[in-house]
Amino acid sequence: MSADAIEASGAPPGRGHALWVRLWHWGFAAIVLALAYSGVVILMAHPRLYWGWTGNDLTRPLIELPLGPNYKHGGWRAAIAFFGDPNGPVTRDRTYQIFNQNSWARSLHFLLAWLLVTALAAFAGLSLATGHLRRDLVPRREELASGGLWRDVREHLALRIPPAQGGPPYGLLQKLAYLGVLLLAFPLMVLTGLSMSPAVAAAWPWLPALFGGTQSARTLHFAGLSLIALFLLAHLAMVVLSGLGRQIRAMTWGR
């Protein structure tokens, strides 16, 4: 919604952010950043992504990420028949020392994942109970009518960003971005994350199968991170373009 449109429609200035929204926002931001950090450390141990159920160092990856010392390593020494039997097991030594910090990174990632699920449940409950979801996040019919979405896209592409009002009402694309990341990206992260757990995959094999296999789920988990990173970049860009100081004040002190 452009500044002119707000004036013309006689919409009230920003209502400010509710206390629970502010607390949730900064808490959730901290959880997501720490999850991204520990997740990337886990990924650095094996920066190769596969499709299907299996994948390992000696199979072809779908994507090889230029991430950390394990990317494009020196490779492998020649395969040696271990028992002298050409059909028996072979061994292959790495020519490099593998980077692997999975011990603490996984534990930290799981701790944060519990906090993330708790925060998502809290948001679902509070946004429904307070009407935040219905009032501020779900697009209204009149917003979508008569090419409202297309108009908002054009305004954003031209970088005509109205100055911050400090809180709702949100613009149409803004609403869709928040709903998209909360209803699609984060549930995808939770479900693909669970699919990678051997315990969950044993109990509910349909869950990894839903994503095409354990390794596919891992690849989609990374795709989810990419979506969330894209959202974060767009979110930060809009905060800066609409008035960084005003927005930070509003999200911290309320107005």
Give residues in contact with another protein (CB under 8 A): 53-54, 56-59, 79, 82-83, 85, 87-93, 104, 107-108, 110-111, 114, 198-205
Cβ distance to another protein smaller for residue 133 or 196: 196
Cβ distance to another protein smaller for residue 35 or 250: 35
Beta carbon of residue 108, minimum distance to another protein (angstroms, whole number): 6
Beta carbon of residue 110, minimum distance to another protein (angstroms, whole number): 5
Question: DSSP character for 76?
Answer: B
Assigned token pair, 179: 């709903």
Beta carbon of residue 169, minimum distance to another protein (angstroms, whole number): 39
Beta carbon of residue 127, minimum distance to another protein (angstroms, whole number): 25
Whole-number Å distance between alpha carbons of 130 and 18: 10
Cβ distance to another protein smaller for residue 4 or 93: 93
3-class DSSP assignment, residue 80: strand
Whole-number Å distance between alpha carbons of 45 and 35: 16
Cβ distance to another protein smaller for residue 110 or 253: 110
Cβ distance to another protein smaller for residue 50 or 247: 50
Beta carbon of residue 218, minimum distance to another protein (angstroms, whole number): 15
Q: How far is CA 244 from CA 14, 32, 51, 159, 239, in A?
A: 16, 21, 41, 15, 5
